[in-house]
Chains A and B, each alone.
Chain A
């Protein structure tokens, strides 16, 4: 298993800080992003000053720059930076240069040539307060570039030179042949820069002069000549899918409409007025804003686009790395900040970061390792994963777990040594070790919780295709993995291994892509095939209900699947064979991202999970076919029409009912196990084998006692029943409070007398700590007179803090201990 430290080095390669293309190509490496940001904000003067500081002579450069930035711009219609630069420069004619009140430095520099290179170098050194003298053989400043301009423009450029030098002391010697180097030395100059002899032209000469000023300044300070840094390249990479996103958003294919959040609003209301006053050689202010707003601030953006966590938290990969690293350092939280304690539990573990990052930076891997580290230190907030771990415990528990093997007479196979079983005997196994089973259905724990009949129907259909197929109904261990609880994860995997071995180590037909990934990654010796591929090979056709054929569907591929995954094609094949019209879902089909369920962020930040689900739901107006039950539920919760592919193939009408509550999900799992026993458990004793499906209906509550009792379960035969109003059931569902817990609390308070009475209302209240959580229930005892027998529950709530008084009741402390504390 990779450690947290193993993930860190890759982050060094992050290209996010790489300059945008226009900046790399710019002779001055001008930060156009900051420039257009300022224009967008209406801070044109600030934009001008940034431009001036970057180019020395803004009026000259805005006239003569050949604008290589426009060629570098990835937009079809490049941002007109030269026009924007000219606009702010013309508006800012009255802004004087900065006057720096710093002491003069020792060091005399002679500059040969008053062309653009010489002037730029002179200005920069003069600004740094060196003593600078310029020797020019002609009778004017500016050199050939300025000479070649028209008279008005030439005048304006010369004026620019005059303005920029107005606050500095710099001596110009015109009409003079430059002395030789030796003569310069004799005159007391420390350095000579021959600006004429370098062969650069135009703005490149100007930029070269500025660079040489830095080199000379560096020489004075350090005694070394360091060549100017080459900044003309960039490793920035716009993700190629960005153009597809743009098309999908209906931007007419114009590539500027990337999904990078615009940092500034365009001023559409003012637009027309701005247009009307546009002048030929510069923009009117409002048009300048519009033009600036088109800039997409190019940078390596794969994670911006594909990582929900980065988009939600607005944190860079480097920042996430720092925060996760700081959070997971050993040390008491009293003395250090743990910035990523919650953030780490938001990641959906979809893997899109690793898939799309050009440098293979695995943010999800780092975060999972961080969760594991926090768990080892005992510092992970348990509440974030507690519900899901309890759910896993239920799915793997005796009331829900099923290992169903079918014996078959395979050449060479050793029949089970039980004389009571005939040739065609089928059995529920925890005791039979038959190596003969070829396949077993592995539906995962969520389909059965959401739609137990769907598991039954699907399994029935699978048996129709292969009568010898078995079934393994349990959790894949993903909740423990996502919680960072490596020990529990190993236990879950061991349980799978044991049950899988007990039914003869069959090839597992996975329905849940998360299960498939878990098994592939952690139990590579277990052969798995998606049930969809298996069905696509064997099932010639299916018939979807006519009501489902009225509209095209889009297949929403779940995040554990990747392009090339056979299940993707199989799901589409099955849907088409069933008569459904399938349309392409552009982004999700390329880079599958999570519906918000993966990684279990829903408790750590419910709004994040919901936002992610909403985003995925909004990727298409079409209803979705999912092949992960969690995706289906996440979309239905967001009001989006979504069906699981098995639901379309084998589901009944009951699938259109509202999503079951957290409590109903447990009952569903228990019902499913009973139904499997009733239908397929021929080797079980008579009392256990009674049919659990009566005329196709669910097992009524009074049959619940057939379930093996489990601690705190409703079916553990309490001596009371509860009447919980619907509104309260909904609240409990939203807060993930189980009916089991309510029963357990009431039972406890009634047995121990540990409860509180409100004399006015006659309502009893009491609490019990179950696992980590403390649950409170308020209820009324039945009146008796009018024949009511159920307790009326009036309120249920829970808190994560524990009441230390609990120690008294558990015998750790006495009341006296507490009162004397």
Chain B
């Protein structure tokens, strides 16, 4: 999960709460009692996360499946 910054597309996304451009930063996720960190676009001010569908349907789904089997 950690070495994944290259997977984040260089999108220009703007957090509407702060008007700040989102940057790739680590965020914390959890599923089935386990936590892990993953680099996604986040607002540098408030920390709001953006997860594009490619990430949700790709890497995240793989990890979800792995945890469901583990």
Contact = CB atoms under 8 A, between A and B. Distances in A.
Contact of A804 (B28, B56, B61): B28
A389 B12 CA distance: 39
B5 to A, nearest CB: 17
Interface string A748-786: 000001111111100011010000000010000000000
A800 interface: yes
B70 A333 contact: yes
Interface stretch (A121-129, A145-153, A681-689, A813-821): A813-821
A381 B47 contact: no
Given A756-B50, A757-B13, A765-B50, A801 B30 contact: yes
Contacts of B49: 767, 803, 805
Contacts of A819: 47
Contact of B53 (A378, A379, A795, A801): A795
A795 B50 CA distance: 14
A799 B35 contact: no
B16 A759 contact: no
Contact of A764 (B12, B16, B29, B41): B16
A729 interface: no
Contacts, number: 95
Given A758-B13, A797-B53, A801-B29, A383 B46 contact: no
A809 to B, nearest CB: 9
B48 A754 contact: yes
Contact of A758 (B11, B47, B53): B11
Contacts of A776: 51, 53, 56
A138 to B, nearest CB: 68
B8 interface: no
A801 B47 contact: no
Interface in B10-44: 11-17, 22, 27-33, 35, 41
Contacts of B17: 753-754
A77 B39 CA distance: 66
A805 B28 CA distance: 7
A779 B14 CA distance: 15
Contacts of B64: 383, 799-801
A381 B56 contact: no
Interface in A360-412: 378-379, 381-384
* Range for the number of chain B residues in contact with chain A: 20 to 34
A382 B64 CA distance: 11
B22 A756 contact: yes
Contact of B47 (A765, A798, A805): A805
A465 interface: no
Contacts of A805: 27-28, 47-49
Nearest to B22: A756
Contacts of A659: none
A799 B51 CA distance: 10
A801 B70 contact: no
Contact of B29 (A338, A754, A756, A804): A804
A319 interface: no
Nearest to B67: A381
Interface string A707-733: 000000000000000000000000000
Contact of A757 (B14, B28, B47): B14
A776 B57 CA distance: 12
A389 B64 CA distance: 20
B6 interface: no
A338 B33 CA distance: 15
B46 A815 contact: yes
A677 interface: no
A91 interface: no
B28 A821 contact: yes
Contacts of A802: 29-31
Nearest to B68: A381
B69 interface: yes
B70 to A, nearest CB: 6
Interface string A695-707: 0000000000000
A804 B35 contact: yes
A490 interface: no
Contacts of A804: 27-30, 35
Nearest to A819: B47
A800 B65 CA distance: 10
A185 interface: no
A759 B56 CA distance: 22
Contact of A803 (B27, B46, B61): B27
Nearest to A757: B14
A341 interface: yes
A818 B51 CA distance: 18
Contacts of B70: 333, 337-338, 341
A276 B15 CA distance: 79
Contacts of B53: 776, 795, 797
Contacts of A800: 31, 64
Contacts of A753: 16-17
Nearest to A337: B70
A815 B45 CA distance: 9
Given A754-B17, A756-B13, A758-B11, A342 B50 contact: no
A801 B14 contact: no
A425 interface: no
A808 B15 CA distance: 16
B68 A767 contact: no
Contact of A756 (B14, B31, B57): B14
29 contacts: A333-B33, A341-B69, A383-B64, A604-B68, A754-B16, A754-B17, A756-B22, A757-B13, A757-B16, A758-B13, A759-B14, A798-B56, A799-B61, A800-B31, A801-B29, A801-B60, A801-B64, A802-B29, A803-B27, A803-B49, A803-B51, A804-B27, A804-B28, A804-B30, A805-B27, A805-B47, A815-B47, A819-B47, A821-B28
Given A797-B56, A799-B60, A802-B31, 8 more contacts: A338-B70, A341-B68, A382-B32, A756-B14, A797-B53, A799-B51, A803-B27, A808-B47
| Complex A-B, nearest 3 residue pairs according to Cβ-Cβ distance, in ascending order | A804-B28, A801-B31, A381-B68
